Amino acid sequence: MILEMKVPSPGESITEVEIAEWLVQDGDYVEKDQAIAEVDSDKATLELPAEASGIITLKAEEGDAVAVGAIVCLIDTSAAKPEGDDKAAVSESKKEEVKKEVVAEKASQPAQAKATYASGVPSPAAKKILDEKGVDKNTVSGSGRDGRITKEDAVNAVPSMGSPTGGNRGETRSKLSMLRRKVAERLVAAKNETAMLTTFNEVDMSAIFELRDKYKEDFKSKHGVGLGFMSFFTKAVVRALGMYPAVNSMIDGKEMISFDFCDISIAVSGPKGLMVPVIRNAENLTFRGVEAEVKRLAIRAREGEITVDEMTGGTFTITNGGVFGSMLSTPIINPPQSAILGMHNIVERPIARDGAIAIAPIMYVAVSYDHRIIDGKESVGFLVAIKEALENPEELLMDNNVKKALEM
């Protein structure tokens, strides 16, 4: 029996995927539920499991865009599982086939064209293209008759990168994954389609450092997760979103949609690029709940197990460039959201405190926002509210009861 395997739907609004990598070869025997391919959608990279055991026949190449519901491979479920020796024999036969193909390619290569007056001379169309690119005709190898430079040669010609000095000057090209291309499109769209501005402030992290130094060991031993900075920032953001609801909104045509819940997107660097999983209803989570959810989502994103549903939605985003050493940046809005908070590294800096110079752990924070629906007053007030909560967490985030807030 021949089983036709079709591309399953990774989620709503996704109509096609791209075959990122086949994990098996044509003619291999596969087991049921064995991962046979990695497919990229515009939101995530997912593994495609075999629906049955049998001999597989591939119907799509790596890099092909395949519609959801289209056939990507056939599995002959009536085929018997080969023995170990058979696999070795198949491998050897494939090697022989590859050798024959290489020999055939060498034999089919035409002899080098004899140099004539036409060698290295561009056609009129090719000359125009080379002039526009600023490419010297002497650096282009002609593939036309008698070595003449054709229009195609001119189109493929690469301009000089400067005078070589004898070092290695090689280059490689690789196709961007569908996920990477979608991220690029969204980032460009955010810059081009929104009135994006950024406001900055600084936060004295001394109070949070003191709380973490005092309670982080007991917190970890009781709850199994660390007491990090993300829970404080998430709680501060939730509080500020309640004070400035326009920041927790987005534009839909001629209307503004405001949300009475806080789904906080957390930017995570994964093996396939930037992932933005969502903490649902963050307003209902405790410090322990936030830390546990951040840890769970970060692990799933880094191991490539994150699902489309876990990255769908979100009303506000937090990104932390500080983990890579960033001191200051202007984060780009994650559309269709209207604002994003950028965290940065913490550095001891001199500050004025009570009329004297003191050294304190300082973090610069930034909020990028869509000026079409968020006014400057609201954006600045929003960031100041976050600053106030982080500098006085015991009163503003814990209701003056630290042990209850940390569930100790």
pLDDT over 70 at 314, yes or no: yes
| Residue 26: inside a domain | yes
| Residue 41: inside a domain | yes
Q: Which is catalytic among the residues 64, 136, 375, 399?
A: 375
Q: Which is catalytic among the residues 86, 218, 371, 399?
A: 371
* Residues of the chain above pLDDT 70, percent: 86
What is the per-residue pLDDT for 7?
A: 86
> Residues 142, 233: one domain?
no
> Residues 223, 348: one domain?
yes
What is the per-residue pLDDT for 165?
A: 59
The question of whether 371 is a catalytic residue gets the answer yes
> Residues 139, 284: one domain?
no
> Residues 224, 321: one domain?
yes
- What is the chain's mean pLDDT, rounded? 84
Question: Which CATH number characterizes residue 222's domain?
Answer: 3.30.559.10
What is the per-residue pLDDT for 203?
A: 96
> Residues 251, 316: one domain?
yes
Peptide bond into 336 cis (omega under 30): yes
Q: Which of 18, 41, 76 is the last residue of a domain?
A: 76
* Residues of the chain above pLDDT 90, percent: 44
Q: What angle do CA 67, 71, 74 make, to 5 degrees?
A: 155
More confident position, 346 or 125: 346
| Residue 66: inside a domain | yes
Nearest one of 10, 1, 37 to 21, comparing CA atoms:
37
> Residues 152, 201: one domain?
no
> Residues 43, 135: one domain?
no
> Residues 273, 340: one domain?
yes
> Residues 257, 140: one domain?
no
| Residue 67: inside a domain | yes
Q: What is the pTM of this model?
A: 0.68
Question: Which CATH number characterizes residue 136's domain?
Answer: 4.10.320.10
> Residues 259, 306: one domain?
yes
| Residue 341: inside a domain | yes
Contacts of 68-72 with C-beta under 8 Å, sequence gap 24+, read: 68/7, 68/8, 68/9, 68/10, 68/14, 68/15, 68/16, 68/17, 69/6, 69/7, 69/9, 70/6, 70/7, 71/4, 71/5, 71/6, 72/5, 72/6, 72/7, 72/19, 72/37, 72/48
| Residue 357: inside a domain | yes
Looking from the CA of 35 toward its CB, the CA atoms found within 13 Å total 12
pLDDT band at 38 (very low <50, low <70, confident <90, very high): confident
Q: Any idea which of 131-140, 382-391, 393-402 has the lowest mean pLDDT? A: 131-140
pLDDT band at 271 (very low <50, low <70, confident <90, very high): low
Structural domain tally of the chain? 3
| Residue 378: inside a domain | yes
What is the per-residue pLDDT for 380?
A: 96
What is the per-residue pLDDT for 102?
A: 52
Range picked from 53-57, 96-100, 173-177, 300-304 for highest mean pLDDT: 53-57
What is the per-residue pLDDT for 137?
A: 79
Q: Which of 45, 76, 107 is the last residue of a domain?
A: 76
Sheet holding 16-22, edge to edge: 45-49, 35-40, 16-22, 65-67
pLDDT over 70 at 112, yes or no: no
Q: Which of 76, 93, 116 is the last residue of a domain?
A: 76
Average pLDDT over residues 280-296: 94
Q: Please give the residue range of the domain that contains residue 134.
A: 124-156
> Residues 129, 60: one domain?
no
Between strands 16-22 and 35-40, the pairing is antiparallel
pLDDT over 80 at 2, yes or no: yes
The question of whether 26 is a catalytic residue gets the answer no
Question: Which CATH number characterizes residue 48's domain?
Answer: 2.40.50.100
- The terminus-to-terminus CA distance of the chain in angstroms comes to 60
φ, ψ (nearest 5 deg) of residue 367: -125, 120
What is the per-residue pLDDT for 85?
A: 46
| Residue 170: inside a domain | no
pLDDT band at 87 (very low <50, low <70, confident <90, very high): very low
Q: 332-361 burial, b if ≥16 CB within 10 A, otherwise e? A: bbbebbbbbbbbbbbeeeeeeeeeeeeebe
> Residues 388, 293: one domain?
yes
